[in-house]
Structures are given as C-alpha cells and as structure tokens.
Structure 1
Amino acid sequence: MKKLINQILKFGVVGGIAFIIDYSVLFICTEFFGIYYLISSLISFSVSTVFNYIASIKWVFDVNQKKSQKKNFILFIVFSVIGLGLNQLIMWFGVDTLHIYYMLVKIGATAIVMVFNFITRKMFLE
C-alpha cells in the first residue's frame, strides 16, 4: 500500500509539471500565435505527453523489464492517443457546446485524462 501511495504522489508531481507544460503551451500557441484552440490543445498535449513518458518510465513506475521497451512505448502511445481523444472531446464539448472559456475546460479535461493515464499505465507498464 505504501508503494502505491508513493507512486500516486510521484505521478502527481510528474502530472503537475506536465500540466504546467500543457497549459502553458496551449495558452502560448492560442494567444500569442493565434492557433485554433483545438490545434493548440493537440500540440500542447503532445509536448506534455513526451515529458510525461520520460518521467513516468524513469521515476514513477517500476516498468516491467521483461516486456520489451518497444512494446511499452507502443502501449504508452496507444493510451496517450486515447487520452488525447478524450482531451479533445472534452475541450470541444466544453468550449463549442457549453461555451466555457477554453483554459477553464482544459483544467477539467486534464483531471479526467490524468486519472485515465494513471490507471492504464499502472495496468500495462508494470
């Protein structure tokens, strides 16, 4: 149980840093470069996912070394793409349907995708 709590705390730290990266890149791309918010969201999500992958493998999860690193990476990418789809769906629904400011919707989208990420990475990477 202590190991799981430690992992959750580490995942929270990594997730917090990834969120800052994601949120900052989203804002910069949209506000300073004038990129449509869904494209900015795709870019920011992708950048933060690369950071998250490296940090998760190095620091958070006890990656099963019996599985090939290629297979681990492919699983990570597959679940990240699903997470991206969830993120984009939530962003679109919140902004275009509910008319909520995109930066506020991003907070909720990130929370939902973070739970999905932890569960899938815990199940398939260890």
Structure 2
Amino acid sequence: MRQILRQFTQYVLVGGLAFAVDFVALFVLTEYGGIHYLASAAISFSMGLIISYLLCIAWVFDYRALKNRAHEFFLFFLVGMAGLVLNTLLLFVFTESFGLHYLLSKLVAAALILLFNFSLRRSLLFSVRKRPCPETP
C-alpha cells in the first residue's frame, strides 16, 4: 500500500506538470492561436501526454510490465486517448450544457480523469502481473 501511495503522489505531481502544460497550451492555442477550444484541447492534451509518459517511466513507476517500449508507449497512448475522449466529452458537456467557462470545465474534467488514468496505467503497464495458478485435475 505504501508503494501505491508513493506512486500516486508522484503521479499527481507528474500529472500536475503535464496538466500545466496542457492547460497553458489550451489557453494559448484558443485565445492567441484562434483555434476552436475542442481542437486546442486535443493538441494540448497530446502535449501533456508525452510529458506524462516520459516522467512516469523515469520517476513514478519502478516496474515496467512490458519490455517492448513501443508497445508500452502504445498502451500508455491508448489510455491517454481514452482519457482524451472522456476529457473532450466532459469539456463539451460542462461548457455547452452547464455554461461553464472552458477553462473551468477543463479543471473539473482533469480532476475526474486523474484516477481513471492512474488506475489503468498502473494496472496495465506498471505493476507485476500475477500469473494464474495452473489448473488442477
């Protein structure tokens, strides 16, 4: 349990940095780049995803379940894309349906996605998998 708590704390710090990049890029691309906020959200989320991956493998998780780094990044990316879909959906709902400012919507969505991403990434990529017991006759 102590290891999970340490990893989660580090993941939150890494996520905070990745989120800061994501959030600032969203603002800059939307306000100064003239890009629609949903397109900006996809671009900025991808920037944060890359930062998150690099810091997760360097600092957060001690064990890597996959030896093939390309496969590992692909699964990390897939979890990120699931997070992106959820992020975009929540961003749209909170902004369009509830009338929140898109940056406030982003904050709410990020808080909800944090546990989703950590749980999936840790279980799929960064934890020792228990081998099933052989069946006994």
Task: Give the shorter-chain TM-score range.
Answer: over 0.9
Residue 109 of structure 2 is matched in structure 1 by 109
Secondary structure of 1:54 counterpart:
helix
Q: Distance in 2 between matches of 1:63 and 1:43?
A: 29
Q: Distance in 2 between matches of 1:28 and 1:47?
A: 13
Residue 59 of structure 1 aligns to which amino acid in structure 2? W
Residue 36 of structure 1 is matched in structure 2 by 36
TM-score by length of structure 1 reads 0.94
Residue 134 of structure 2 is matched in structure 1 by none
TM-score by length of structure 2 reads 0.87
> Is structure 2 residue 80 aligned with structure 1 residue 80?
yes
CA RMSD of aligned residues (A): 1.2
How many residues align structurally? 126
> Is structure 2 residue 63 aligned with structure 1 residue 63?
yes
Q: Distance in 2 between matches of 1:80 and 1:28?
A: 22
Residue 16 of structure 1 aligns to which amino acid in structure 2? G
Residue 44 of structure 1 aligns to which amino acid in structure 2? S
Q: How does 1:86-105 map to 2 (within 5 A)?
A: 86-105=86-105
Secondary structure of 2:119 counterpart:
helix
Deviation at 1:62, TM superposition (A): 2.1
Q: Distance in 2 between matches of 1:104 and 1:25?
A: 15
Q: How does 1:17-56 map to 2 (within 5 A)?
A: 17-56=17-56
| Alpha carbons 1:18, 1:51 under 8 Å: kept | yes
Residue 81 of structure 1 aligns to which amino acid in structure 2? M
Residue 118 of structure 1 is matched in structure 2 by 118
> Quick one: structure 1 residues 40 and 15, their matched pair in 2 at CA, closer, same or farther if it must change by over 3 Å?
same
| Runs of 4 or more above 3 Å deviation | none
Structure 2: segments with no counterpart, 5+ residues: 127-137
| Alpha carbons 1:15, 1:52 under 8 Å: kept | yes
Aligned-residue sequence identity (percent) comes to 37
The Cα offsets for residues 24-77 of structure 1, whole Å up to 9 and x where unpaired, read as: 000111111111100110111000000001001111112325532222111111
| Alpha carbons 2:66, 2:125 under 8 Å: kept | no
The Cα offsets for residues 79-113 of structure 1, whole Å up to 9 and x where unpaired, read as: 11110000000011111121110000000111111
